[in-house]
Amino acid sequence: MPQVFHRSFNTLSRASVFGSLFILGFVAWAVNVFVNSSYATNQGVVREQPVPFSHEHHVTGLGIDCRYCHDAAEKSAQAGMPPTKTCMNCHQQIWTGSATLAPVRASFQTDQSLAWTRVHRLADFAYFNHSAHVNKGFGCSTCHGEVQKMPLAWQHGTLLMNWCLDCHRQPERFVRPRDEVYNMDWHPPADQEQQGRELVRKNGIRSLMNCSTCHH
Amino acid sequence: MSAEVHAETPPVRTPAGSPVLAPGHDFATVTDKISALVLTRPTSRGWWIGFSLSFALVMLLLYTIAYLLTTGVGIWGINVPVGWGFAIVNFVWWIGIGHAGTLISAILLLLHQQWRTSINRFAEAMTLFAVACAGLFPLLHMGRPWYFYWLAPYPNSMQLWPQFRSPLVWDVFAVSTYLLVSLMFWYVGLVPDMATLRDRSTSRLGRVVYGILAMGWRGSARHWYRYESAYGLLAGLAAPLVVSVHTVVSFDFAVSVLPGWHSTVFPPYFVAGAIYSGFAMVLTLVIPIRAIYGLEDFITSRHLQNMAKVLLATGLIVAYGYLMEAFGAFYSGNPYERYLQVNRMIGPYAPMYWSLLVCNVLGPQLLWFRAFRTNPVLLFLVSLVVNVGMWLERYVIVVVSLHRDFLPSSWGMYSGTVWDWAMFAGTIGLFLSLVFLFLRFLPVISIFEMRTLLPEAKVKEEHG
Amino acid sequence: MNLPPYGMLAEFDSATALVAAARQATAAGYRRVDAFTPFPIEELEEALAIKPTVLPLLVLLGGIAGGAGGYFMQYYASVIAYPLNIGGRPFHSWPMFIPITFEMTILVAALTAVLGMLALNGLPMPYHPVFNVPRFALASRDQFFLIIEAADANYDAERTRQFLDGLRPVNVWEVPH
Amino acid sequence: MSTGAPHWRDVASKDDAERLRALAETEFPGGVEASPIDRRRFLALAGASLGLAGLSGCMRAPAEKIVPFVHPVEGRVPGKPLYYATSMTLAGSATGLLVESYEGRPIKVEGNPAHPSSLGATDVFAQASVLGLYDPDRSKTVTYLGRPRIMGDLAGPLREALATAKHGKGLRILTETVGSPSLIRQRGELLERYPEARWHSYEPAMSGAASAGARMVFDQSVRTHYDLSKADVLVALDADFLGSGPGHLRYAHDFAARRREPLTAERMNRLYAVEPTPTITGARADHRLPVLARDVIHVARALANALGIGKWTDAPPDAATASFVQALADDLRSRRPGTTLVVAGDNQPAALAALVQAINRHLGNFGGTVLHTGVSEAPEDAGLSSLVELASDMREGRVTTLVNLSGNPVYTAPADLGFADAMKRVPLCVHLGLYQDETADYCQWHIPEAHYLEAWGDARGHDGTASIAQPLIAPLYAGKSALEVVGMLSGEPGRSGYEMVRETWQAHGSKQAGGFETWWRRTLHEGVIAGSASPTIEPRWRDDWQARAGLNGAAPARNAGPLEIVFRPDPTVFDGRFANNGWLQELPKPLTKLTWENVALISPATAQALGIKAATEGPHAGSHGEAIAPVVELTYGGQTLRAPAWVFPGQADGSIAVHLGYGRTRAGTLGSNIGFDANRLRASAAPHFGPGLDIRTTTTTTTLACTQLHQSMVDRQPVRTADLATFLKEPRFAQESAHTEGGDRRHPLTLYPDDHPMKGPQWGMVVDLNACTGCGACVVACQAENNISVVGKEQVARGREMHWMRIDRYFSGDSANPTAHVQPVMCMHCENAPCELVCPVEATTHSPDGLNEMTYNRCVGTRYCSNNCPYKVRRFNFLAFADYATASLKLLRNPDVTVRSRGVMEKCTYCVQRIREAEIDANNRKRPLRDGDVITACQAVCPTRAIVFGDIHDANSQVAKLRESQRNYGLLEELNTRPRTTYLASVRNPNPRLETR
C-alpha cells in the first residue's frame, strides 16, 4: 500500500522549506546582534574601581579640566592616568578623613600604585593616538561620550572598527574648533557639515582610510 | 521514428554498434535488479571490510585535522619559498577528479550520448565526494582556518569585503557553485528513483526515508514534462560551469608572476587534465564495482571502451599542454621560464617530472590498442597509472615552480611530512567511505533512464 | 471520511496503450486528465494538451539577476564601500570581476531551474490521493496510469468509469480523497 | 628616533631606578598582554570556536588594570619613549649608545652619533645586547655550591680569606680586557692595599699583538688607531678592521665614505686583503690573496723587501704572491705619503704588527692614516701569558683566592692549560657572571653580574674617548657590577658603582665650566666625555726594532707543509659570551650564512684532496634551509674532536678555520650543546693558528641550518657590479643590464588608468651595494625593532626563519678565490605589488604614501602573497613562534609593533610605526615632515650608511637624489613591479696591473 504519509505532511513539508529560510535569517540576525551587544563590546559597561572616582563630581561639580589629570592627551598616544600625587594635590587639604579616599592615601603613604580598572580596552593590534586627534580638533566627548555625567566611567562607543571608520570616512561630521575640544557640553551646530568642512581644510585633516594608519 | 525502432530487435543498439544495455531486460527486471542492490541484497562482508578500512582512514583524517588546528600548518613540509604543498596539490587533484561526473551527465546528455545513462548517476556521486574532499584543503591550508568566512562577502563590523581580484576568492565562488549545482543535478536525477525505491521498499523506515527524498513524486505526465525541461536546463548550465571551475582553479596559478605558473596555456590544459583524471577515476571505481555487483548488463564493454577513448583523447590534449609549456619556456626567451623548464627536467625533482610524463603521456598511448580498451583489468591498471600521473603533475606544477623562482638566494626544497601524507590518505578514506555508503543506500544506476532505453519505451503509433 | 472521490484511475500495461487512452480522453472532452508513467513519454504532451512551461523564462531571468547581482556586489565592495589600492590596479578592475559574475549567473539560474521545477510541480507533496490505490506503486515500475479528476466538468462517476472501461485498461478504480 | 628632538635623562637616584624596576615588573602597557592566559593555547582552541562564532576580532578579554605612578617621574610622558646615553664595552673597547626606554624598559639600542667609535651605528652585539638583558636564563641569585645565598653570606668567607693572606698573598683577580677607567682605578687601589695580590686579564678572542708589536718598535707603550678617510690604498694583512675589533664601526664608516656617491676615480679607495679565511674585510677587498695564516708575515716581509725596508733574503714566494706583492708595492709607492694604510691582524704575531708599523712609517703614514696615542690609565694586558702564569700558580697551589670577574676561563682557556683542574686546587673561588656558566660550576661562590644596561660604569672608545655607561633599569636580579665587587674586596662594600664612577671623574669634572654637577649632567646627556680622546703623540722609533721583533735573518723556507688550523672568534656569538642570545644565534654568519652552529671551513681544493664533499653537493643542493654536511675528525696538539666540514670558496688551501664560541655546556637553554668547542684544540703556545692539524673523514653527516646554500647568481644579476674603469666608461651599466621591456620609472608599462592619487610623502629606500659590508647589524636591528620571533635551528633548517630582511651573499669567479657580493633584501614595497593582488581578504594593501601594508589581524594565512612575491621577503608564522609565555621577554617588546600570532604572514613595513609616529609628531608641532624625520631601524644602525630612506617625491631628499644616481637600479625591475626599494650597483676598484677577478 503506497500511501506512506498522512495528508498533513504536505503542509508540513512545504512549511519546512520556508521555515529553513527563516531559521537562517534568524541566525544571521542573532550573530549580528551579539557582535554589537554590550556583552561583546563592553559598551556602556560600568567598571568597579578601587576608588569610586566620579567624573560627574569632578568635572561638572568642580569644573576640573580633563588635562589636569589626563595631561598627556595633547603630547602622546596615551592620555595618561594621573599619579596618586595628582589626587593628593587637593585631597591633602579636603576630604582628608574620608573613608572612600583611604586607598588613595594608603597608596601615597606606602608608595604602592593604585590599580584602576581599564575602561577602554582597544585590541592590541589597533593603535590609537590621542594627540593626533585632539590637536586636530576632535573633542573628548566625541569618543568618550558625556563623561561629565558619569558617576563611574563607562565605555561610550563600541570600539568596533566601523565605529572608528564612521569618523575616518567623514571627519567633517565630527570635527570641532580647537578651543572646544575639552568642552564636554559641546554639541554639533546646525551647520556642522559646512563648518566641519571648513575646519577640515584649516586643520589639514585627512580622511585616513588605509590600514597602516591604525594597524602596525 | 527510424526504421530500426520498428524492427523487433532487442537489444537496443546505438548507432555505433555494441550494446549499451544487455539483451533480455524489460521495465520490471531493470527496476528490480537495480533497486535490489539497495533494498534486498544483503550487506556483504566485502562491503563491511571495505567500509571499515576507509572509515579507519577517516579517523586518521580527523586526528590529523585536530592536530593541525591546535598546532598550525607548520606540521606540514611547507616553508618559504614553497608556501603551498600537498594541500594545494591534493585540492587540485580532487577537484580535477570531480569533473568527470557533471561532464558525463551534462555534456554527454546534451550530445544525446545514450551510453552515458548507466554511468552518469555513479559519476555524479563520485563528483560530489571528490569535491567534498577537495573542499577540505583550501579551508585547512589556511594559517587561521577559523576565519575562513572572511573570504565570503557579508556585511561586518569591519566594513571590509573580500578582495575580489584574488583568484582565491574566485575559487570560493567557483567551487561552492560547482558543489551546489552538482548536488542539485544529482538529486534531481535521483527523485524519480527515490519514488521507485519508496514504492519497492518493504520496510516502513525505507518507505518513509525514500518517501521524504522522493518528495511525493508520482510520475505525473505534467511533472515529467517540467522535470525534463529543468534537467535539460541544468545540463545546459552545468556544461559551461564544469569548464569554468577548473579554469578558475588554473587562474590560481596563471594569474601569478611565478615562472611555471604565469602561463596562458593553463586554463584549457587544466580543464583537459581535469576530465582526464575524472574519467580515470570513474574507470578505477566502475570496473571493480561492475564486477562485484554484477552490473555487466548495464555497464557494458561499450561503456568502458567509450571512456577509454575519452581518456586517450584528453590524455593527448594534456600531452600537448606539456609540450606547449616546454616550448613556451624556451621560445619566450625569458631566462626565468627557461631555467624553470631545465630545472624540471634535470633539477632535484626531475624524477617526478619524468615519471609524470611516463604516467600521463605514455600510459594512455596503450589505449590505441583495442585489447587495452576492451580488457577491464588492463584498462583498470591504465586508469590507476593516470591517477598517479595527474597527482604528480600537480606536484610538479605547485612545488617545482615554487622551489626555485627568481632570486637564487631564496631557493629552497620541499618534501611532505608524515602529516601531509596522513591528510592525503585521510581524504582518500573519506572519498571511499562515501562511495561505499552510496553503493549501499542509493541506486547506482539511474533506473528510470534505463527504462527509456528499452524498446517498449517507444510508443507505437497506429497511424504513424 | 466522506469527502467526494478524487477521480477515476485506469491502469494500462504499455506506454502505447496509455498514450492512446489519453488521446481519447481529451478527445472525449475531458480536461482535468493526467497520466502517471515510470519514465517520461513525449507523446503525452500533445495527447494531454499540456501547456508549454514558463520554466526556461524563469531560468533566464534568474541567470540575469545572478550575473548582475554578482557584478554589482563586486563593484560596490571595491569601488563604493571601501576602495583600497590593491597592487596599483584600478578600483573598478572589471576584467577581474568576470569570473565571479559568471559563477553567480550559473548559480542563481540553476537554483531557479530546480526550485522553479519543484514549485511548478507543486512538490514536495508526500501525500496524494492516487497513492491510495495499492497498485499505483507500479507506476514507478512498469505500469501506466491515467486519471480523470472529479473536478472535471464532465466528470460523472458512472459515465467516466464506463468510458475508461472502454479503453481496455487492466484495472479501473475510483480514487478516494 | 622619530620623536623629534630626543630628550635623554640620567636615571639619577637609586630609588628612581628601583621604581623603574618595580614598574618594569608590574606594568605591561599598551602593546603587551596583561592577562596571564597562554595565548598559544587560547588561539589554538578557543580561537577556532570563537572565530566560528562570528566574533570577528572582538574577543572578550578579562578586565585589564592600569597602574599609574604614585609620584610623577621627571620628564616622563606616558606612551612616549625616552632615550638615554650609555655605552657598551666589548673586549675592552667601548661603543657609545643611545638606548630607547619605554615605560622604564630598555627596548632598543641605537648608536650615539656623538661617539667617535659609533657615529650613530652599532654592531650586531650591541643590537642584541638588549635581548641579553631580558634573557630568562640569566643567573638570578648569589649561590654557594649551587645553593641560593645572599651577598652578605659571601662577605664573611671573603673577609677571612683576605685576612689570613697577608698583603693579599694568594689573592688573584681574573678579568677580561679592562677598558673602564674606574675599574682600572679600583685595580690600582686594590693592588695598593694588597701588594701581594695579582691581577690577571685574559681576552679569549684577542691577542694584544698590536700593542706588543708597538712596544717592539717604540720606546713606550702606544695605542694605534687609524684614519681611513685619508687612505687611498688600504692593505689588510689578516686584519678584519671592517668587521671586528676596536673601532671597526668607525673604520667601516670612513672606508665606505670613499665609495658612496658621488663616486669618482679620485674619491674611490682601493683595498687589498691578505688572509687565510674569508672575512667581511676580505669580501669587500678589490684584491684578495688567500694565504696560510702562517704565511701572512712572509707576504709582509716580501712587501717590505719590495718597498726596500728590510733586506731579507727569504725564499721567493710563489708566482701569484710575487706578482701580487709587486703590484701592491708599486701601487703603494706611487701614492703620496700618508695616503696609504697597512693594517696587521690581531690574530697574527706581534712581529707582524711591528713590521707593519715599519711599513707604515716608511710610507709616511704616521700622523696621517696611522695615529698613535699614549696608553691611558695602565699598561695594556699581555695577552695570554698572564693566564698561563695564573694557571701554573694555581696548579702549584700559590693561589688561595681567585675572583673571576665576568670572564668564563673554564670554557675559553686553551685546552692545554688544564685551567679547570687547576682551579680545583684553589680554596676559594668566586665567580661574577651573567650566567651560571662553566666557570661558575668550578667556583664555590657565584655572584649574578649586573648587565651593562643595569650598572654604572665608564669606558674608552678605540681612540681613547671616554664615556659614562649609565644604567637604563635597576638590576632585574640584584646583580653586581665588577666595579662593586672589586669595591667589596678593597673593603668598601657599601659603595655603589654610581659613587665610584663619579669619584673617578670628580677631578676631571670639577675643572669644567659650571662645576662637577653641571658637567656630570651634560656628560650623561651627551654620553661622551668631551675632549677625553687621548692626544696623538709621536713616539720615538727604535732602530733595533728588527732585532726586538725577531725579524733578523731569513725566514724559514715556506713549504706547503702540514695542514694548519686557524681559530677565530665567531662572527655572531664572539668568544661564546653571546651563545645564549637567540638573535645572534639565528643571525646568519655574514659569509657562510650558517646559523646556530660552527663548522670547520675548508677550501674546495683541500676538500677535494681530502675527499670531503660539500654540503652544497648534497641532496638539497641549492636549497636554503637544510644542509647535510660531512663530519670530520680534527686532531691538533693531541686533542681530537668532531666537527662538520664546510667547503668554503676563498678559504686558503691547506688552512682549516674554526670559530670559537660553540660547544658550550652551561650557556643556557639556547646556547648549550650546539656546535663544537674549538677551545679544546687550542694550544696556549699558538692560540690563534698553528700547523700540524690532522684531519680524518668520517662516515657520519650532520644537518646544519643554512639560510642560503646557493652561491652563484646563476644566469641573473640581482647584484650588478662593474670595475671602476667600466663604470667611468658607461656609468649607467646597471640600468642598461635591466631589460625593462620598454617601460621606465617615469613611463611605466600599464594599461590601467592611475586612479590612486599619491597623497603625502612617497616613501622609498635606496641601498648602496658599494657601501654595504654585509655585517648583518641591520638584520638584528630590524628584529629588535619589530618584535621578530626567533624560531630555532630546526625551523631555520626547514626554511622558516622570520627575519624581515636578509643579506644575500653570492660568489662569482674562481672558486679558489671568488669575488663575494652582498645584498640586503627586504620588502621592496612594489607600486604594482604582486602580493596584494592575490590576497583574498585585503590583508595586504597599498597605502597612499606608497607603503605595502601588512595587516596581521586581517590575515587568514593562505601564503599566496608569499608565493607570488618575486623577492620572497614575506615571512609566515607556520607555528606559534612568538613567545607569549616568558614574562621577562614581554618587557623587551616594542609596544608600537603588533606581536604576530600563529598562522599570520609578516614582512618589512619600512618601520611604519616610526613613520606614523613622526607624522603625528610633525603634525603636533605644526610643521611639515623633513627629510631625516623618519629613520628606519636598519638605516639607523648601518655603520656605512648604505641604507637611505625618505620621500622620493621630495627632490631635495637624500633618497630622491640617490634614485637619480647613475648606479641606481631596481631588483627584478623587468617584472614591472616598480619597487620602491632600489639599489646602487657596486663598483670595484681593482689594480689594472693585476688581472681583475
> With contact defined as beta carbons under 8 Å apart, do D247 and D462 qualify?
yes
Question: A18 at the B interface (CB within 8 A)?
Answer: no
Please list every residue in chain A whose beta carbon sits closer than 8 Å to the beta carbon of residue C85: 210
The grid coordinates listed for A193 are 557639515
pLDDT tens digits along D165-209: 778 889 999 999 888 999 999 999 999 989 999 999 999 888 888
The grid coordinates listed for A183 are 568642552
Which of D754, D846, D848 lies nearest to residue C86, judging by beta carbons? D846
Compute the distance between CA of residue D411 and CA of residue C134 in angstroms, rounded to an integer: 98
B170 contacts C100? CB cut-off 8 A: yes
D809 contacts B411? CB cut-off 8 A: no
Task: Supply the pLDDT for residue D380.
Answer: 53
Task: Supply the pLDDT for residue B7.
Answer: 36
How many Cβ atoms from other residues are within 10 Å of residue D196's Cβ?
12
Interface list for B 310-339 with A (CB within 8 A): none
Three state DSSP letters for chain C: CCCCCCEEEEEECCHHHHHHHHHHHHHCCCCCEEEECCCCCCCHHHHCCCCCCCHHHHHHHHHHHHHHHHHHHHHHHHHHHCCCEECCECCCCHHHHHHHHHHHHHHHHHHHHHHHHHHHCCCCCCCCHHHHCHHHHHHHCCCEEEEEECCCCCCCHHHHHHHHHCCCCCEEEEECC
- What b/e sequence results for B48-67 when a residue is b if at least 16 CB atoms lie within 10 Å of its CB, and e otherwise? eebbeebbebbebbeebbee
Task: Supply the pLDDT for residue B462.
Answer: 58
Give the chain D residue nearest C95 (alpha carbons): D752
Task: Supply the pLDDT for residue D12.
Answer: 37
Task: Supply the pLDDT for residue D558.
Answer: 62
Q: Specify the range with the lowest mean pLDDT, choosing from A39-43, A124-128, C169-173, D54-58.
A: D54-58
Distance of CA D862 to the CA centre of its chain: 36
Give the chain D residue nearest A49 (alpha carbons): D65
Minimum distance, in Å, between the CA of residue C108 and any CA atom of chain A: 16
For chain A, list the contacting chains (3+ Cβ pairs, <8 Å): B, C, D
C136 contacts A2? CB cut-off 8 A: yes
Residues D712/D717/D723/D725 CA torsion (nearest 10 deg): 150
Give the chain B residue nearest D618 (alpha carbons): B348
Nearest to B173 by CA among B144, B137, B135: B135
The grid coordinates listed for B402 are 615554487
> With contact defined as beta carbons under 8 Å apart, do D296 and D348 qualify?
yes
Nearest to B85 by CA among B423, B429, B337, B341: B423
C134 contacts A9? CB cut-off 8 A: no
Give the chain C residue nearest A17 (alpha carbons): C124
Interface test with D, best of C75, C86, C96, C97 (most D CBs within 10 A): C86
Per DSSP bridges, beta strands D905-906 and D875-876 are antiparallel
Nearest to A191 by CA among A177, A173, A207, A204: A173
pTM for this entry: 0.91
Minimum distance, in Å, between the CA of residue D291 and any CA atom of chain B: 28
Compute the distance between CA of residue D470 and CA of residue D449 in angstroms, rounded to an integer: 15
Q: Specify the range with the lowest mean pLDDT, choosing from B232-236, B278-282, D46-50, D840-844.
A: D46-50
Nearest to D97 by CA among D135, D133, D123: D123
D57 contacts A123? CB cut-off 8 A: yes
The letter for the amino acid at B399 is V
A165 contacts B198? CB cut-off 8 A: no
> With contact defined as beta carbons under 8 Å apart, do B152 and B163 qualify?
no
pLDDT tens digits along D135-160: 999 999 999 999 999 888 888 888 88
Task: Supply the pLDDT for residue D22.
Answer: 47
Task: Supply the pLDDT for residue D377.
Answer: 64
Q: How far is CA D557 from CA B235, D318, D553, D995, in A?
A: 92, 12, 12, 28
C87 contacts D756? CB cut-off 8 A: no
Minimum distance, in Å, between the CA of residue D135 and any CA atom of chain B: 26
Rounded average pLDDT over B211-233: 93
Task: Supply the pLDDT for residue D988.
Answer: 94
Give the chain A residue nearest D18 (alpha carbons): A111
Interface test with D, best of A35, A67, A211 (most D CBs within 10 A): A211
Three state DSSP letters for chain A: CCCCCCCHHHHHHHHHHHHHHHHHHHHHHHHHHHHHCHHHHCECCECCCCCCCCHHHHHHHCCCCHHHHCCCCCCCCCCCCCCHHHHHHHHCCCCCCCCCCHHHHHHHHHCCCCCEECCCCCCCCCCCCHHHHHCCCCCHHHHHCCHHHCCCCEECCCCCHHHHHHHHHCHHHCCCCHHHCCCCCCCCCCCHHHHHHHHHHHCCCCCCCCHHHCCC
Minimum distance, in Å, between the CA of residue A5 and any CA atom of chain B: 8
Question: Where is pLDDT greater, at D382 or A12?
Answer: A12
Give the chain C residue nearest B180 (alpha carbons): C107
Is B204's pLDDT higher than 80?
yes
Size of interface A-C (CB pairs under 8 A): 32
Which of C85, C124, C131 lies nearest to residue A2, judging by beta carbons? C131
> With contact defined as beta carbons under 8 Å apart, do D378 and D199 qualify?
no
Question: B148 at the D interface (CB within 8 A)?
Answer: yes
For chain D, residues with pLDDT lower than 50 are 1-59, 996-997
Please list every residue in chain D whose beta carbon sits closer than 8 Å to the beta carbon of residue C93: 752
Please list every residue in chain C whose beta carbon sits closer than 8 Å to the beta carbon of residue A1: 134, 137
Question: A37 at the B interface (CB within 8 A)?
Answer: no
Please list every residue in chain A whose beta carbon sits closer than 8 Å to the beta carbon of residue C124: 10, 13-14, 17
D909 contacts A136? CB cut-off 8 A: no
Task: Supply the pLDDT for residue D51.
Answer: 42
The whole-chain average pLDDT of chain C stands at: 92
Task: Supply the pLDDT for residue A173.
Answer: 94
Question: A161 at the B interface (CB within 8 A)?
Answer: yes
Which of B83, B165, B404 lies nearest to residue D863, judging by beta carbons? B83
This complex has an ipTM of 0.92
Q: State whether residue B463 is helix, strand or coil.
A: coil
Which of B159, B198, B215 lies nearest to residue A161, judging by beta carbons? B159
Task: Supply the pLDDT for residue D557.
Answer: 61
pLDDT tens digits along B139-179: 999 999 999 999 999 999 999 999 999 999 999 999 999 99
